[in-house]
Amino acid sequence: MTPVTPAIGRRFSLDRTWPFFLDILVFAGVLAVFYGVLTIARYWLGQAIPATEISRSPWSLPKYAFFSLVRMAIAYFLSLLFAVTYGRIAAYNKTLQPFMVAILDILQSIPVLSFLPGVMLAMVSLFPSRQVGIELGSIVLIFTGQVWNMAFSFYSSLKSIPRELSEASSIYRFGNWQRFFQLELPYGAIGLIWNSIVSVAGGWFFLMACEMFVLGKRDFRLPGLGSYLQTAAGNGDTSAMLWGLFAMIGVIMLIDQLIWRPLITWSGKFKFEQVESTHVPTSPLLHILRNSNAIKALREKTIEPLGERIDLYFARRAPKPSQPKTTPVWLKAIGILLATVAIAGIGYQVFRAFALLRGVPGADFKRMLEGAGATFLRVNVSLLLASAWTIPVGVAIGFNPRLARILQPVTQIAASVPATALFPVLLLAIVRLGGGLGVGSIALMLLGTQWYILFNVIAGASAIPSDLKEVANLFHFSRADRWRIVILPGIFPYLVTGLVTASGGAWNASIVAEYFHFKDSVMSTVGLGAQISAATDAGRFDTLLMATIVMATLVVCTNRLVWRPLYRLAETKYRLET
Amino acid sequence: MRESIIEARALEKFYGEPGSNPIQVIAPTDLSVYAGEILAVLGPSGSGKSTLLRMLTGLSAPSAGEVLWHGKPVTGQSPNVSIVFQSFALFPWLTVLENVEAPLKARGLGEIPRRKRSLKILETVGLDGFEAAYPKELSGGMKQRVGFARALVVEPEVLFMDEPFSALDVLTAENLRTETLELWANKSLPTRAIYLVTHNIEEAVLLADRVIVLGKNPGRIRTDFQVGLPQPRDRKSAGFLQLVDHIYKVLTQPDASPQFVPEAEAAPLPPGAPRAKYPMLPHARPGGISGMLEILSDRSGHDDIYHLADDLSFEIDDVLPIVEAASMLGFVHVSEGDVELTPAGREYVEADIGPRKELFAHAAMKRVLLIRQIKRALESKSNHMLPDEFFHDTLDEHFSEQETIQQLDTAINWGRYAGLFDYDSASRKFYIADEEPETVPA
């Protein structure tokens, strides 16, 4: 923050006035937030308007962006709360652990749209006459797309807490509260933040699907960026489409600068390392927050004393640790009772589900299997195409630090654009070229998933130790040998990670890529994703359930049969140990 | 009579389901910690030093027996103890001061008394001025000082130390030892007894008023004696050296159980019958064994283990497994802390690389049950290949899960060196080496 001019007097005055400007900035921010809360409250408590007329004027964009942001933020905080609670229970309850992990595995493979009818109808019937019901439905939909990987991340962080650290908190009698805030949350923070970034990016990806959809005879349209983009595309309004795209990219980049970068910088203190690392990321905003007088006063006068009071309250209330931890009989009895009720309930629901599925005609089932085959092919072709360009480019970037410095920011911006927002533009091009959605959807999947592979290949290539490369030079390896012996095995673990994520993403993307509302008509192609979307549109719950089961089974099976063995190979044979 | 703070009665630890054959980690053990003493607990790896400490501090529940605290069973209230950990176990996201304050915060102490006590103890351990630093900015020795401060700030009745100096370099460790002793001698440490777990014999003799030596398989007390030497102690004095030598002798005395089981493999025993001990492979690498034999041969074939370890600046945990392995293979003979090369050992040392491997293979097949079992099992299969789970299941009955993995790791090392069999880590299969493993579906 030091000014360039050498004049000492001016620097002093700046030093004094700068925090004052910061304070004004902070106060303005508080005021804006306050007004925003009021607006949202008024809108939510108003009459239910399931299908708002979406204006295509660029001037409505700020309002729409705000509404979308609030939705995303609430969904994200719900996800965070859920992830932490779920992860904690799964990590500490030995009886529930295997079930809870398996549930995560399966829920992760169910596409967002399959949750749609259930969630939407439940929420709307909960608040029949208020806008809040429809809004909550949309929020829960975004939540279902974000929460699973965060829960998994927190769970595995808890499982990997070093034993002595955990013993230290026991021997020094940390209560649950102190253990959570001084051990568990800090230890899991970095994993949670990175997964949050991935999750929120996923939220943007499905925003269009979550804000505007048809459910049987009912048309749901919520004011937001996603519905704006979809309306613009539906009307073939290119300029509105571009405006929407710009707005979305702008919002995403702002969030990146204002939230994720400061968070990543700040989370550096939670790194579990014994020595300080040399490369420390920086964030201007975090600097502002750390240097503002108002924030400092708030922290010292309010937050810290309050935190202290809360901490002490919980410490004094915490039950003294008793030596033999036995569960009281009545608690066990309640547990058994609950388990029995849950099993009975699940049994009944499964029975009902099968009864529903019996209604699916055999021809439909046959079509579904064909669709699954088509989508399976598309997913794998898109993975192959993505690998074909990302592996050489990623290796080139990873091997060449100068190239990396230039290209990394560009690719990061490119990757941050949610592919769904580009779909309409791409579709227009495909239609104009006379191509169909059969091939076009591959391009759409590619657009959404190639980045996972690219970033992992770059990371893998830059992690190959330079002495291995030197050996290759020393012995004059041919180009083919270099790839076969050094590069491919070196990036293998990273490549597998990238491919796993990309494959999951591609399956999920199929539901938006294979079926598209376009100028009052529907473009679609043969595929499982198209069938799920169509079933939602038509309110055909039996078909939707069937197709979801087929997709979830396919994804879980591929994970178990293909990716997990490859992962193990990556962790044993191709691990570069330092 | 001395006042005992902690008393363990028939304390026992075993793993396994009730009904099945449990794996005994610690045999029923009686032990007391008295006020005013530094008690050092020594033992080779696998003797359950850590497990014992965790049961005494209440971190882990005993399988049988009880821990008494001032004569009363420990229930409800956990005893006022602290642990200094080998890995320091500091919270990297808290400053030095916050780390030290954390235990007091857990006890509900208000901000002002908490800060006062923490600053005082930081001064005692020589850390004043470092309050705002984060652990990662400190050297290893400084980190362990924070560990000490955090342990002492709650004024524990017994201070437990779990190999507190073994992650530090030699000089730093020596410095901290001396300082600890000084603080203890002039009564600046707010604790009434110290329980020190170590695998360093000299450290035990240097610091302790009383030494307990544990044996392994299962863990039990081999000997328990007072160290009569006055403080400060001189490492070169005759009394000191005598004690060190005595402990070495206790540690290297062969256990009563037979070392090797005859060729005929043991038939399954009727339930309830006492099982024969499964001989445990010492975790030594063939290269280490050869090196030790070479040194021994240079010294005209026999030496004192203590000298051997001292010259190599090895600690017992490093040197004992090597000696045990060589003895298991019949290359050396151990008695009363002395090692002597046998004729077979001499033949091995004088041979070239190729013949050496054959001698090793021969000795291993003849004398090491696990190696023989693996080889026989592989030979009996038509494709000469078996998954490691097969052997896991055999060993699981005798060892803990972690030990089973280590046993197999060592067996793989020996089998590979001897050319008896090989192991493919990707498919987790053992196979006989002259054939390539069939490509296993990934």
Tens digits of per-residue pLDDT, A285-297? 777 777 777 777 7
Query: Which residue among B58, B81, B426 places its CB closest to the CB of A573?
Result: B426
Query: What band does B274 get if pLDDT is binned at 50, 70 and 90?
Result: very low
Average pLDDT over residues A238-246: 86
Q: What is the mean pLDDT of residues B46-59?
A: 87
Closest-CA residue in chain B for A179?
B106
Backbone angles phi, psi at A362, to 5 degrees: -60, -35
Q: Write out chain A residues lying below 8 Å of B83, CB-based.
A: 167-168, 171
Q: pLDDT tens across B181-225, in order?
A: 988 988 888 899 999 999 888 899 999 999 999 888 788 888 888
In tens, the pLDDT along A113-137 reads: 777 777 777 777 777 777 788 888 8
Taking alpha carbons only, the member of A375, A550, A549, A524 closest to residue A445 is A375
Checking B49-55 for CB contacts under 8 A at 24+ apart, the result is: B49/B197, B49/B199, B49/B214, B49/B219, B50/B162, B50/B197, B51/B13, B51/B25, B51/B26, B51/B219, B52/B11, B52/B26, B52/B214, B52/B219, B53/B83, B53/B160, B53/B162, B53/B195, B53/B197, B54/A167, B55/B8, B55/B11, B55/B13, B55/B26
Mean pLDDT of A188-213: 83
Average pLDDT, integer, range B330-352: 87
Single-letter code of the amino acid located at B34: Y
**pLDDT at position B265, please?**
37
Question: Cα–chain-centroid distance for residue A521?
Answer: 31
* Calpha distance B53→B219 (Å, rounded): 12
Which residues in chain A have Cβ-Cβ distances shorter than 8 Å to B150?
Answer: 168, 172
Minimal Cα–Cα distance from A276 to chain B, Å?
A: 6
SS3 assignment for B160-177 = EEECCCCCCCHHHHHHHH
Q: Among B57, B69, B72, B91, which would you mutate to test the A interface (most chain A Cβ atoms within 10 Å of its Cβ)?
A: B91
In this prediction, residue A571 has a pLDDT band, given cuts at 50, 70 and 90, of confident
Q: Taking 80 as the threshold, does the pLDDT of residue B316 lie above it?
A: no
Check residue A519 and give its pLDDT.
65
Partner-chain contact B92 A320, CB within 8 Å: no
Shortest distance, CA A313 to any CA of chain B (angstroms): 8
Instruction: Tell me the two tokens of residue A22.
Output: 């910061």
Count contacts between A and B (CB, < 8 Å). 96
Name the residue of chain B whose CA is nearest to A267's CA.
Answer: B93
Structure tokens at A65: 């962006």
Note whether A172 contacts B92, CB cutoff 8 Å: no
Distance CA A51, CA A41 (A): 19
Where is average pLDDT lowest: A265-279, A548-562, B354-368? A265-279
Give the nearest chain A residue to B155 (CA atoms): A172
Q: Which residue has the higher pLDDT, B256 or A71?
A: A71
pLDDT value for A382: 92
Tell me which of B105, B152, B439 to substitute to probe the interface with A (most A C-beta atoms closer than 10 Å): B105
| Residue A8 reports pLDDT greater than 60 | no
Nearest CA in chain A to B110: A312
pLDDT at A178 over 60: yes
List the single residue in B57, B86, B110 with the smallest CB-CB distance to A171. B57
**Omega before A186 cis (within 30°)?**
no
Mutate to test the interface with B, among A163, A171, A178, A499 (most CBs of B within 10 A): A171
DSSP secondary structure string for all residues of A237-276: -HHHHHHHHHHHHHHHHHHIIIIIHHHHHHGGGG---SS-
d(CA B174, CA B166): 11
pLDDT value at B150 more than 80? yes
A323 and B78 within 8 Å at the Cβ level: the answer is yes
Of A419, A429, A399, nearest to A505 by C-alpha is A419
Mean pLDDT to the nearest integer, B15-31: 76
Which residues of A lie closer than 8 Å to B, measured between beta carbons?
A: 162, 164-165, 167-168, 170-175, 178, 182-183, 186, 269-276, 308, 311-312, 315-316, 318, 320-324, 565-566, 568-569, 572-573
Give chain B positions within 8 Å (CB) of A182: 91, 94, 102
Is A367 in contact with A531 (CB distance < 8 Å)? yes
What's the gap in Å between the CA of B226 and the closest CA on chain A? Answer: 29
Question: Residue B266 above 50 pLDDT?
Answer: no
Is B94 in contact with A178 (Cβ distance < 8 A)? no
Please, what is the average pLDDT of chain B?
Answer: 83
The answer, yes or no, to whether residue A565 has pLDDT greater than 60, is yes
Looking at the DSSP bridge assignments, the partners of residue B304 are B338
Peptide bond between residue A162 and the one before it cis (omega within 30 degrees of 0): no
Average pLDDT score over residue span B167-185: 87
CA distance linking residue A144 with residue A119, whole number of Å: 10
- The alpha helices in A45-184, defined as continuous H runs, are 61-92, 97-108, 112-126, 131-159, 163-171, 176-179
Give residue B118's pLDDT: 93
Neighboring chain B residues of A168 at a CB cutoff of 8 Å: 83, 85, 89, 150
User: What does the pLDDT read at residue A81?
Assistant: 94
- Tell me the mean pLDDT in the region A323-335: 70
Q: Searching chain A, which residue's CA lies closest to the CA of residue B138?
A: A275
Quick one: average pLDDT of B381-409? 84
Give the rounded percent of residues in chain B with a pLDDT score beyond 90: 17
Q: What is the mean pLDDT of residues A348-355?
A: 79
**Spatial separation of the C-alpha atoms in residues A462 and A454, rounded to whole Å:** 12
Q: Which of A46-60, A477-491, B37-51, B196-210 has the lowest mean pLDDT?
A: A46-60
Collect all residues of chain B within an 8 Å Cβ-Cβ radius of residue A321.
58, 78
User: pLDDT at residue B401 above 90?
Assistant: no
Residue A277 confidence class, pLDDT cut points 50, 70, 90: low
Q: Is it the case that residue A4 has pLDDT exceeding 70?
A: no
Query: Which ipTM did the prediction report?
Result: 0.73
What's the pLDDT at B208?
A: 92
Give yes or no for residue B271 having a pLDDT over 70: no
The reported pLDDT for the residue numbered A274 is: 54
Confidence of residue A236 (pLDDT cuts 50, 70, 90): confident
Residues of B in contact with A271 (CB under 8 A): 92
What's the pLDDT band for A16 if we cut at 50, 70, 90?
low
Concatenated DSSP letters for A196-239?
HHHHHHHHHHTHHHHHEEEETTEEEE-SSHHHHHHHHHHTT-HH
Which of residues A571 and B94 earns the better pLDDT score? B94
pLDDT at A200: 86
CB-based contact B87 A164, cutoff 8 Å: yes
CA A337 to chain centre: 36
- For chain A, state the CA radius of gyration: 26
Q: How far is CA B48 from CA A145, A325, B41, B197, B256, in A?
A: 48, 23, 10, 11, 18
Give the end-to-end CA distance of chain B in Å, rounded to a whole number: 67
State the Cα–Cα distance between residues A43 and B178, nearest whole angstrom: 72
3-class SS of residue A523:
strand
Answer for the pair B176, B141: CB distance below 8 angstroms, yes or no.
yes
Mean pLDDT of B308-328: 81
Please state the rounded mean pLDDT for residues B294-316.
80
Work out the number of other CB atoms within 10 angstroms of the CB of residue B311.
Answer: 11
One-letter amino acid of B416: R
**Tokens found for residue B308:** 């051997």
Shortest Cα distance, chain B CAs vs residue A549, angstroms: 27
Tell me if B426 and A572 make a contact (CB, 8 A cut-off): yes
Task: State mean pLDDT over B386-392.
Answer: 86
Contact call for A315 and B107, based on CB within 8 A = yes
Instruction: Note the pLDDT tens digit of each residue in A76-111.
Output: 999 999 999 999 998 888 888 888 888 887 887 777
Instruction: Check pLDDT > 70 for residue A282.
Output: no
CB contact (8 A) between residue A323 and residue B83: no
> What is the percentage of chain B residues whose pLDDT exceeds 70?
90
CB-CB neighbors (< 8 A) of A577 in chain B: none
Candidates B60, B86, B136, partner chain A, best to mutate (most A CBs within 10 A): B136
pLDDT of residue A84: 93
Residue A460: CB atoms within 10 A of its CB come to 26
Whether A83 contacts A100, CB under 8 Å = no
Q: What confidence score (pLDDT) does residue B122 get?
A: 92
Average pLDDT, chain A: 80
Confidence at residue B434, expressed as pLDDT on a 0 to 100 scale: 65
User: Closest Cα of chain A to B96: distance in Å?
Assistant: 14
CB A292 within 8 A of CB B49: no
Average pLDDT over residues A320-328: 54
Residues A477, A471: Cα–Cα separation, whole Å: 9
The residue of chain B with its CA nearest to that of A563 is: B442
Mean pLDDT of A197-204: 83
Strands B38-42 and B72-73: unpaired
Check residues B1 and B152 and name the one with the higher pLDDT. B152
Range B12-24 average pLDDT: 72
pLDDT in tens, B324-334: 899 889 899 88
Helix/strand/coil (H/E/C) assignment for every residue in chain B:
CCCEEEEEEEEEEEECCCCCCCEEEEEEEEEEEECCCEEEEECCCCCCHHHHHHHHCCCCCCCEEEEEECCEECCCCCCCEEEECCCCCCCCCCCHHHHHHHHHHHCCCCHHHHHHHHHHHHHHCCCCCCCCCCHHHCCHHHHHHHHHHHHHCCCCCEEEEECCCCCCCHHHHHHHHHHHHHHHHCCCCCCCEEEEEECCHHHHHHHCCEEEEEECCCEEEEEEEECCCCCCCCCCCHHHHHHHHHHHHHHHCCCCCCCCCCCCCCCCCCCCCCCCCCCCCCCCCHHHHHHHHHHHHHCCCEEEHHHHHHHCCCCHHHHHHHHHHHHHCCCEEEECCEEEECHHHHHHHHCCHHHHHHHHHHHHHHHCHHHHHHHHHHHHCCCCEEEHHHHHHHHHCCCCHHHHHHHHHHHHHHHHHHCCCEEECCCCEEECCCCCCCCCCC
pLDDT given for residue B75 in this prediction: 61
Q: Range with the lowest mean pLDDT among A490-504, B140-154, B182-196, B355-369?
A: A490-504
CB contact under 8 A, A168 and B77: no
Answer for the pair B255, B217: CB distance below 8 angstroms, yes or no: yes
Among A400-404, B210-214, B339-343, the range scoring the smallest mean pLDDT is: A400-404
